[in-house]
Structure 1
């Protein structure tokens, strides 16, 4: 299952500041939409509003036709900070959304081990976060998110703090994992190449709303990164960012 989002005439902000006005955007069910933009343009604010953590200041923000009025297990938020509980093992961190849903203990363990295997951590379930690398902790966070079976995954620069090699590995892992879930994904990044690799579409966000919305040719295919059509898309995004 996946969610469709409808954003019509929405203004977003925090505190006394409005950072985006009159935002219009439809997010299709099951797509990967990547949002890029300058620092402070409202990318993270948009994601938190989609998660139900921040109310909009006007306009309509809908998930499958219903107004978003608060958090929901259907919409999972993934941060750059992995937010793992340090006193719980990797397995027990993944079990957390299942425990909240009162899934029986044996089934929780089975599902946690399944998702840890999916992210390449089958042999690390007993380790606590402090014994894992940054990339491994992000894998645990991804496994925990997927274990909750959300209809939408909202990712706020989840790989931004990783080194280049680990970041590339996490991008490839995410591509593989997305093949196993129908969830809608909204992914925030500053990296245009990452956006073009992961996204079905890329939205360039500015204070006045969406500046450019681009359909990505052959998303998630490394072989297309240097093709003329992808280079043209990259140049259009960069022009919209200036």
Structure 2
């Protein structure tokens, strides 16, 4: 069962504990779950389980002898007690690093991992654009030379620069390159990024993020909260 936030489009994975709790709900009752990305509440009803069952039933006729059915679900969690209705299903924030192989990329990945991100890389621009269709990244770090050519002609950078703000405002976009001056907000604004970092400063990327992310949240946090209130 997949759970999709209607506010930001974030997809959350279900858990056996959550589905067991939904099965005990009375008709018309709901569980409330907080979206791990935008913080908006998601209402979960028992009907979501019925939809999942219907989809499985529709697929049943296509199961042949060559298809191995999935293993039974793990029920060891039952010994831990009942599922709390206010429990939050949260995901580890994801980050994508678009940089050529080398010490700089290793330093950036190490810094992101140290801050609790699950960092991954893409093979090329097309691979990165494909992943953007299926995953909601909290942070994206791209080198200005990734993919070759100038930054203005980079298809991924153009994609980020023209992204709908309903999604873009939840992504911390960082550009790295020799022409940038770290923490230079005017350059970041001119390149539609949240932060720019000079190549030689990547060894301090962890410190840079710990400084810049709180500053970003302090500046834009109240505005984003007001947007949530207005349901925009």
TM-score by length of 2: 0.32
Larger Rg: 2
Judging by fraction of residues, say which structure has more strand. 1
TM-score by length of 1: 0.31
Judging by fraction of residues, say which structure has more helix. 2
Structure of greater relative contact order (alpha carbons < 8 Å, 6+ residues apart): 1
